Amino acid sequence: MWIYKNTFSVGGLENIGYAPGQDKLIVLSNQGRGIFDCIKGEKIARQHNDSDWWEYFNQTTNSIAGFDILDQIEISTCGLYGQDHLRKITDDGWALTISKPEPDDTPFEEYLVQRIYLVSPDKKETIFVTKDGPCELRAFGFSDTGKSFIVALSCDLTIYSRE
């Protein structure tokens, strides 16, 4: 079963990308670069004085070279720059879906939000994950391994995983 791991505040989140074949996620924001272990739901590396990651960013491929434990690995990213290319379905049939814009919960129903849901392979269970709202949706999806998924908004990162 899927387990909620953590939600991290990330001011100015711009792009994210899973390392190929891993559950390690690089996060690019106006505060710098970070690496998250999505199985454990932990931030494991951070470049504090690197708010100008743009110099490392390949605008043609929307990719960036990793650092720390992802050093020398080219990571394809998506979000503010580049369309969301993350997997929406796992090999065993779990799916992430997004609603059309709909009224938010009371007392904020005058505002439209999009809700993200996790749907079981047999489609009998639909689990609410999160919604956008004051923070803009950047990307959401599963890792290549199918063992974790994330939802990246402009202000935070939500992580789920399974064993």
136-159 mean pLDDT: 98
Q: In percent, how much of the chain has pLDDT > 90?
A: 90
Read off the pTM.
0.94
- Residue 72: the pLDDT is 92
Tokens 């990246």 sit at which residue? 152
* pLDDT in the model for residue 49: 64
Q: Which helix (H) or strand (E) holds 20?
A: none
Domain limits of the chain?
A: 9-161
pLDDT tens figures, 63-76 = 999 999 999 999 99
Bond into 107 cis (ω within 30): yes
Q: Cβ-count burial of 102 within 10 angstroms (0-12 exposed, 13-18 middle, 19+ buried)?
A: exposed
DSSP 100: P
Q: How confident is the model over 82-108, as pLDDT tens digits?
A: 999 999 999 999 999 999 999 999 999
